């Protein structure tokens, strides 16, 4: 019986996030102020008082979700995970929880990643779409077919749970793929209100910038394995963790496969640390017998 801690990614943000932690915990207040200094602006003000629109900006969203998640985890005095994982951005939070990265270094990397991704989005107008109730293999097949026939980029991006796969690519490529996916029997193929093609080759400019920053950051040997998005298996080697974290920017988030691997390796209890309950829902859709809870 193992206890897994999981950390959410972009999309879990909400106005007022983290305010209760700031007001109730001296440790939380200290970490928020530290983050404000590193960020060069009061990200705490954006989190506590910003509108939903303010919080949708990638360069605000990512540090905000990371900060909320890590502080929620750190307030769990004595929490010792047997394994950790994070969904996309959440992988950085997971690496703080298992000691691979210091809070300061991880927050700096998240800020660099967010700004680099924002710039990549502006360079290449692109988007993502959620595909429901179609086999992963069929979605993969149609994405490959659209790419081959049109030259447009369309790739599977987030394997969230069985029957829910998010695709990523150029605006035209996603539109064509959505038509074909619906024709193939998808219950829905819905373009998402996002400003970029995350986890696709269109993030290559951001990947190069992040790789340089990760290469100059100290990665420690973790206290427990991290199940990384791109390989969906336990990783403990710091050099491999660095490599996988870089590859994640243009590679798929294999969340379904990661949770299945954690369960195969003994996980019976999943705790989501951070805003929202998205991952708790996904874990239960992957395996309804799991005990899930959260701290926010």
Give SS3 for 170.
Answer: strand
pTM score, two decimals? 0.95
Question: Which CB contacts under 8 angstroms, 24+ apart, belong to 38-46?
Answer: 38/104, 38/107, 38/108, 38/111, 39/63, 39/107, 39/111, 43/67, 44/18
Do residues 148 and 242 make contact, with C-beta atoms less than 8 angstroms apart? no
pLDDT tens readout for residues 32-75? 999 999 999 999 999 999 888 888 788 889 999 999 999 999 99
Domain boundaries, the chain: 2-122+201-295, 125-191
Distance, CA of 125 to CA of 120 (rounded, Å): 9
Residues catalogued as catalytic: 88, 199
Q: Tens digit of pLDDT per residue, the chain (296 long)?
A: 899 999 999 888 899 999 999 999 999 999 999 999 999 999 999 999 988 888 878 888 999 999 999 999 999 877 899 999 999 999 999 999 999 999 999 999 999 999 999 999 988 889 999 999 999 999 999 999 999 999 999 999 999 999 999 999 999 999 999 999 999 999 999 999 787 899 999 999 999 999 999 999 999 999 999 999 999 999 999 999 999 999 999 999 999 999 999 999 999 999 999 999 999 999 999 999 999 999 98
Class at the top of the CATH hierarchy for domain 125-191? alpha beta
- Please indicate whether the domains covering 2-122+201-295 and 125-191 agree at the CATH topology level: no
At the second CATH level, the architecture of 2-122+201-295 is 3-Layer(aba) Sandwich (3.40)
Q: Which of 143, 194, 212 is nearest to 173 (CA)?
A: 143
């Amino acid at each position: 019986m193992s206890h897994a801690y999981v950390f959410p990614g972009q999309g879990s943000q909400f106005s007022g996030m983290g305010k209760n932690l700031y007001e109730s915990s001296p440790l939380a207040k200290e970490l928020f102020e530290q983050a404000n200094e590193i960020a060069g602006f009061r990200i705490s003000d954006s989190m506590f008082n910003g509108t939903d629109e303010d919080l949708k900006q990638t360069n605000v969203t990512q540090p905000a979700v990371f900060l909320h998640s890590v502080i929620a985890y750190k307030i769990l005095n004595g929490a010792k995970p047997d394994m950790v994982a994070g969904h996309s951005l959440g992988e950085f939070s997971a690496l703080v929880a298992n000691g691979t990265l210091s809070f300061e270094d991880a927050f700096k990397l998240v800020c660099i990643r967010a700004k680099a991704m924002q710039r990549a989005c502006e360079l290449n107008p692109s988007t993502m779409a959620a595909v429901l109730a179609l086999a992963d293999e069929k979605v993969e097949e149609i994405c490959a077919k659209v790419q081959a026939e049109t030259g447009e980029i369309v790739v599977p991006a987030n394997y969230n749970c069985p029957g829910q796969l998010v695709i990523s690519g150029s605006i035209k490529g996603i539109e064509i793929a959505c038509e074909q996916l619906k024709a193939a029997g998808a219950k829905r193929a819905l373009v998402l209100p996002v400003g970029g093609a995350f986890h696709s080759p269109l993030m290559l400019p951001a990947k190069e910038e992040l790789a340089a920053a990760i290469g100059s950051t100290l990665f420690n040997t973790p206290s427990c394995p991290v199940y990384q998005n791109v390989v969906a298996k336990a990783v403990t080697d710091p050099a491999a963790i660095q490599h996988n974290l870089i590859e994640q920017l243009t590679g798929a988030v294999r969340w379904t496969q990661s949770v299945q691997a954690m369960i195969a390796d003994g996980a019976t209890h999943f705790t989501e640390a951070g805003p929202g309950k998205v991952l708790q829902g996904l874990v239960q859709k992957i395996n309804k017998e799991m005990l899930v809870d959260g701290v926010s």
